[in-house]
A and B are shown apart, each in its own frame.
Chain A
């Protein structure tokens, strides 16, 4: 299973997108992911609030993620979020330093979405979703 996951991920994209197990979503398109991470979509299908989880701005993983999925530099994304948060329209991403912190946070929050660098052993409370 682990091997399969690892193969799957590496063959398609470099990052692993994770959500809480309670989340009913199984997969997202690249455009949907883009909209979520730039604050254009703020709720899941069951109208639950999306809680975005990200790394700090100078994290290598975030740089790759921004380039692969958002087509923007991390600074630019940050600016977009500053603007969004100051205008009070959306809830900005939670920012963490390490993958462990992200794993813990997503396990504990039902609407959270985050990403990891590579396939790894995950707690029961998480699930990986595919990006088409």
Chain B
């Protein structure tokens, strides 16, 4: 929730901003309400007291005037007049006299005031203090005459008082807003700071540091209880994670254990296998079908985890034990055909695999091979110290896609000192630190350069990987003749 006006960009998705925003609005509204309530009440009260005091002055003056008048005690009249002039808020006084039907001003103070009686009457007893002068009127009567007395009072002080109330309330409101903002800032900090720490811990745990824990002591009881629950959760997670990774590790060890020993004969076979952290679907094997024919096979089941690993192992077991009926294990096409019919993906949890299968005649060095969706084997030929490289292309569909499809085979005559590399895609599908996939030419260059040492080849290829670690299973078999 963010205001998207040009002038106001107030991030209301922050807890503290939201609190400050709403609390401030609350205070402003309550201050205005308070102001309206207090000012109207105060105005009423102030007006009442103003009216009472001014009316008191008027009545006292009336008595004095009437008495002095009756007795013709002129000194007394002068005293009454002088007394009136000293009253609070006094502005003017007019004494009128009625002669027959006429009323005329007998005397006024200050004398500069030259106000007609009609005006005085119209202003008389204005109950509003909006006017600057508040006029009170009373009739006086004595033996020797009658008339009216008008006394005007200034309302400036009332106005000033009103302004003071407004100023006081505004100051009160502002100070309250500032104080509340400070309080809210402190309170939200006490909530958000531990949350921020918790977030940092979560971040570290996400990156793999399962031993990190949240601080269970800082913050309020709500925060510490969240931290405790969080820690228990992480504890539980790391425990199950350890169990799982132990099991996966055991599975990986088992897969490694069924892989054949290297052959150190006239025909040499060596391999390297780097299973990915979460167990992949690579598996391979080789065995002599008879004294002169060596079968070599490598499969790569799609996906990672226990499922692909199990499928991969069962395929390898079938090939190793040659437990496929009506299958010519000397013929790669026949083998892939049978595998394809057994391992259709709709019956195997939507898993398919790529496979490479080859049979080498030890005596003639003739290699009969086929591949199903698998990267081509690479042949490194060396003659008179000159090395050349060749990919043994053969294109077929991967295993499990469609039943009853034929798999093409090819034959390649190998020569003395040739080296054949059979590998899974994990070896060359490398994402470099610049985000680009390693080019095929570069891969082949590495293979050519490191044909003597599988370890050197893996290290060099691994260095291209952005995390210096193969993300997929990585298998490579080297056949040296």
Contacts and interface: CB of A to CB of B under 8 A. Distances in A.
Interface of A: 56-58, 74-75, 78-79, 81-83, 85-88, 92-93, 95
Given A74-B144, A78-B72, A83 B107 contact: yes
A85 B74 contact: yes
Given A85-B75, A85-B77, 19 more contacts: A56-B71, A56-B72, A74-B144, A78-B144, A78-B145, A79-B97, A79-B106, A79-B145, A82-B69, A82-B74, A85-B74, A85-B78, A86-B81, A86-B107, A86-B109, A93-B72, A95-B71, A95-B72, A95-B73
A58 B143 contact: yes
A87 B180 CA distance: 62
Contact of A57 (B72, B78, B109): B72
Interface string B55-94: 0000000000000010111110110010000000000000
Residues of B in contact with A, size category:
10 to 19
Q: Name the residue in A75, A82, A93, A95 with the highest tally of chain B Cβ atoms < 10 Å from its Cβ.
A: A82
Contacts of B144: 57-58, 74-75, 78-79
Contacts of A86: 77-78, 81, 95, 107, 109
Across the A-B interface, give the 5 residue pairs with the lowest CB-CB distance, nearest first. A92-B74, A85-B74, A57-B144, A75-B144, A95-B72
B111 interface: yes
21 contacts: A56-B71, A56-B72, A75-B144, A75-B145, A78-B69, A78-B144, A79-B106, A82-B69, A82-B74, A82-B95, A82-B107, A83-B107, A85-B74, A85-B75, A86-B77, A86-B78, A86-B81, A86-B109, A93-B72, A93-B74, A95-B72
A72 to B, nearest CB: 12
Contacts of B72: 56-57, 78, 81, 93, 95
Contacts of B97: 79
A86 B82 CA distance: 9
Contacts of B145: 75, 78-79
